[in-house]
């Protein structure tokens, strides 16, 4: 079995190259492949930016210094990571990202301070399903 460098794990298409076509990767809470996090950055103009990523530190680094960073953040550097939490698989993380982006500034600050729990943002929809 070949030894892989950490850099190889972030290259596009990595999983397609090492896994057989019939293997499906699923997210788990314990940090396995596919575990997404939601994060909030505070920009230099005091605005907030919300995103999702598998590796938050790498994504923040991309926002800071890479052409792969979000266009919204150009000219709003330096950035400060003010919130990060596990969000599950990509679908759930995207749902949470949408919900956080709909929050008012004061509600986002309550989330950052811990006064609002992230899971409460999904429970509104989940309790009505059925």
Structure confidence by residue, pLDDT tens digits, 24-51: 333 333 444 569 999 999 999 999 999 9
- The Cβ-side half-sphere exposure at 35, using a 13 Å CA radius, reads 11
Q: Which residues, 6+ apart, have CB-to-CB distance to 21 below 8 Å?
A: none
Mean pLDDT of 51-63: 96
Q: What is the CATH number of domain 34-128?
A: 3.40.1440
Residue-averaged pLDDT of the chain: 78
How large is the average pLDDT for residues 110-124?
88
Percentage of the chain surpassing pLDDT 90? 62
Phi and psi at residue 80, in whole multiples of 5°?
-125, 125
- In which band, very low, low, confident or very high, does the pLDDT at 94 lie, cut at 50, 70 and 90? very high
Output the pLDDT for position 33. Answer: 52
pLDDT category at 124 given cuts 50, 70, 90 is low
Asked if 92 and 100 count as a contact pair (C-beta separation under 8 A), the reply is no
Q: What is the mean pLDDT of residues 103-125?
A: 89
Across the range 79-86, mean pLDDT stands at 96
Mean pLDDT of 97-126: 89
pLDDT at residue 1, as a whole number = 42
Q: Between vectors from CA 51 to CA 5 and to CA 95, what angle results, nearest 5°?
A: 110
């Amino acid at each position: 079995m070949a030894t892989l460098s950490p850099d190889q794990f972030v290259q596009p298409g990595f999983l397609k190259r090492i896994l057989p076509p019939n293997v499906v990767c699923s997210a788990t809470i314990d940090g396995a492949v596919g575990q997404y996090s939601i994060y909030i950055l505070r920009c230099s103009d005091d605005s907030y930016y919300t995103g999702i990523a598998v590796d938050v530190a790498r994504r923040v680094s991309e926002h800071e210094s890479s052409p792969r960073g979000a266009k919204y953040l150009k000219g709003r550097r330096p950035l400060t990571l003010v919130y990060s939490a596990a969000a599950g698989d990509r679908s759930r993380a995207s749902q949470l990202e949408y919900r956080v982006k709909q929050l008012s500034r004061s509600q986002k600050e309550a989330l950052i301070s811990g006064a609002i729990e992230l899971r409460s943002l999904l429970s509104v929809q989940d309790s009505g399903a059925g």
